[in-house]
Amino acid sequence: MIPKALILDRDGTLIEHVPYLCDPAEMRLLPGVEEGLGLAVRSGAKLFLHTNQSGVGRGMFGMEEVELCNARLVEMLEHGFERICTAPEAPGAPSKYRKPSPEFAKEVMAEYGFSAEEICYVGDRGSDLGAAAAAETRGVGVATGLDDLQAELEAQGYGEQFPVFGDFLSAMKFLFPQT
């Protein structure tokens, strides 16, 4: 089934992962992202952004900086997001949306009428695909972040559940093969 919605991670998936990024000047799109998002949009998929930003909860920067970076990302891309969800909490702090929470995906399903199988998470970390598992959506990994995604998935017991691609465009060609 062709996804009707992608829930995209930001750091390490759409842009180079700069740890605790808070300066829009440091943002660089990863190779193949614009072309890949073009495939998705031409196939009719809606785009959503879901980003964990624990730097806020750790007191390293504020939501204003996150919002500036998110706005810069929107400027850099040809296609916009239906909704952006930022989870600012540090790991372990109570949080509604921090991935692997399924709450954002559930809201997207409720608001737009998508079934779980019509949604696909795309991310570079086990927490992105953990959110997919928790919400019972599809998920694909991109090994373009700073961590060893395959090792993370195996540690979480998701080694076989989610395909992992070496770059964003390959993941989009897998999801949208007719385009």
Q: CB nearer to Mg ion: give 102 or 123.
A: 123
152 is a contact residue toward Mg ion (CB under 5 A):
no
Residue 78: burial class (beta carbons within 10 Å; 0-12, 13-18, 19+): exposed
Q: CB nearer to Mg ion: give 9 or 65.
A: 9
Number of residues that bind Mg ion (CB under 5 A): 5
Q: Which of 3, 7, 9, 36 binds Mg ion (CB under 5 A)?
A: 9
Contacts with Mg ion in 117-136 (CB under 5 A)? Answer: 124-125
Q: CB nearer to Mg ion: give 3 or 126.
A: 126
| Cβ–Cβ < 8 Å for 19, 63 | no
Length of the chain equals 179
Sheet (strand 5-8) strand order: 83-87, 46-52, 5-8, 119-123, 138-142, 164-165
| Cβ–Cβ < 8 Å for 162, 139 | yes
CB of 33 to Mg ion, least distance (A): 13
Give the residues across from 51 on adjacent strands.
86
11 is a contact residue toward Mg ion (CB under 5 A):
yes
CB of 12 to Mg ion, least distance (A): 4
Contacts with Mg ion in 63-82 (CB under 5 A)? Answer: none
Residues that bind Mg ion (CB under 5 A): 9, 11-12, 124-125
